Amino acid sequence: MDIRIPFNKPCFEGKELVYIAEAISRGHISGDGFFTKKCAAFFEAEFGCSKALLTTSCTHALEMAALLLDLKPGDEVIVPSFTFVSTANAFALHGAKIVFADIRPDTLNMDEAQLEKLITSRTRAIVPVHYAGVGCEMDAIGQIADRRGLVVIEDNAHGLFGKYKGRHLGALGQMSTLSFHETKNFTCGEGGALFLNDPSYVQRAEIIREKGTDRSRFFRGQVDKYTWRDIGSSYLPSDMLAGFLYAQLEERQHIMEHRSKIWNRYHAGLMDWAAAHGVRLPAVPTHCEQSFHMFYMLMPTAAMRQAFIEYMKAHGILCVFHYLPLHLSAMGQKHGAAPGDCPVSEDISNRLVRLPFFNKLSNEHQELVVEKAKHF
């Protein structure tokens, strides 16, 4: 059967087209124009970061973070095995040896209790990922990092507007990254951001983002010409994309409310069925306010997960798995990882399935997803 209910769909929320047209009529469609500044000012005010830099993707924001670490050969970066490739690849690309941490079986976040035994004299940074927008145990991670002199970089691709103990995700490490890819809560197609919570990174980050030049200072009138200062690349998104993003950020209350309703409807609709069939629904600790990025279920076995995906597909509903553990990948093995290193990641990856989830998922379609799931 044709897919009637997709897993994801990019949604227009308000003035996206108006702001793209405005960027064009303002005559500044390259980076750091009117709308880029609006987005950055919003993030800096809301999150209290020293600097919010829009980037072309979360992958690129992570690469900028790697460059800011000034990695030397043999330096190590700890990432969860259960994450998107970019969390690890960005640091591997700039010379780090990747060390994989396993995840907690409850939140599926980096297991802070595993960190001490993974830290060596060469460890430079820890990169927690707030899976599904539920905060990692940032107090414990921060304490370990402080004690061992490590930098914490939050990969907050899922967690925009989520909170940990009342504090914004993305405001807790020295740096954090966001994604505005089509699949994320807020989008401009492709895009991202790097938040610098530690002001000592700001000047160099601006240079790295501007092809290794001090062009940002030049535009602010702080220097009278700009020159090649450091290594860098081209990480600025077009102001047309920033306009698209700003339109979505303006609708944040409405988007978050809608997503929370979708999440809560799934949870209420599936709770009894899940309990009766050994299916586990997401765990959100009381000290975390999630960002409602996704709704996943943990099936009892890998075979049941596969059968579920096929059953739903036969009814026109696309459900998908998530994250093949990075420590099992060809690149993971090159970084010295071996099967069995992260047993929880291996188990979860085999059993997790995500249900359709996007801003404009209709009530009617969602009810159909719940109905079909309960008949599986």
Interface positions with ligand PLP (CB under 6 A): 57-59, 83-84, 86-87, 129, 155, 157-158, 179, 181, 192
* Of 195 and 373, CB closest to ligand PLP: 195
* Of 86 and 359, CB closest to ligand PLP: 86
Distance CA 82, CA 84 (A): 7
* Of 245 and 317, CB closest to ligand PLP: 245
* Of 213 and 291, CB closest to ligand PLP: 291
Task: Give the shortest CB-90-to-ligand PLP separation in angstroms.
Answer: 8
The token pair at 49 is 């970061």
User: 326, 367, 317, 330: which is closest to 346 by C-alpha?
Assistant: 326
* Of 175 and 373, CB closest to ligand PLP: 175
* Per-residue CA distances from 357 to 5, 114, 202, 278 (Å): 10, 32, 36, 23
* Of 270 and 352, CB closest to ligand PLP: 352
User: 162, 178, 325: which is closest to 237 by C-alpha?
Assistant: 178
Task: Give the shortest CB-372-to-ligand PLP separation in angstroms.
Answer: 26
* Of 128 and 356, CB closest to ligand PLP: 128
Q: DSSP 3-state assignment of 98?
A: strand
> For residues 12 and 325, is the Cβ–Cβ distance under 8 A?
no
Distance CA 25, CA 66 (A): 36
Task: Give the shortest CB-62-to-ligand PLP separation in angstroms.
Answer: 7
CB atoms within 10 A of CB 270: 20
Task: Give the shortest CB-31-to-ligand PLP separation in angstroms.
Answer: 16
User: 102, 31, 98: which is closest to 331 by C-alpha?
Assistant: 98
Q: Count H helices, E strands: the chain?
A: 14, 12
> For residues 280 and 336, is the Cβ–Cβ distance under 8 A?
no
Task: Give the shortest CB-43-to-ligand PLP separation in angstroms.
Answer: 16
* Per-residue CA distances from 298 to 280, 308, 350 (Å): 5, 11, 9
Tell me which H or E stretch contains 53: strand 51-55
Distance CA 87, CA 284 (A): 23
* Per-residue CA distances from 376 to 265, 298, 352, 367 (Å): 18, 14, 16, 14
Task: Give the shortest CB-177-to-ligand PLP separation in angstroms.
Answer: 7
* Of 129 and 194, CB closest to ligand PLP: 129
Task: Give the shortest CB-270-to-ligand PLP separation in angstroms.
Answer: 23
Task: Give the shortest CB-313-to-ligand PLP separation in angstroms.
Answer: 23
> For residues 158 and 181, is the Cβ–Cβ distance under 8 A?
no
* Of 174 and 213, CB closest to ligand PLP: 174
Tokens 């990695």 correspond to what residue? Answer: 71
The token pair at 247 is 């339109």
Task: Give the shortest CB-370-to-ligand PLP separation in angstroms.
Answer: 25
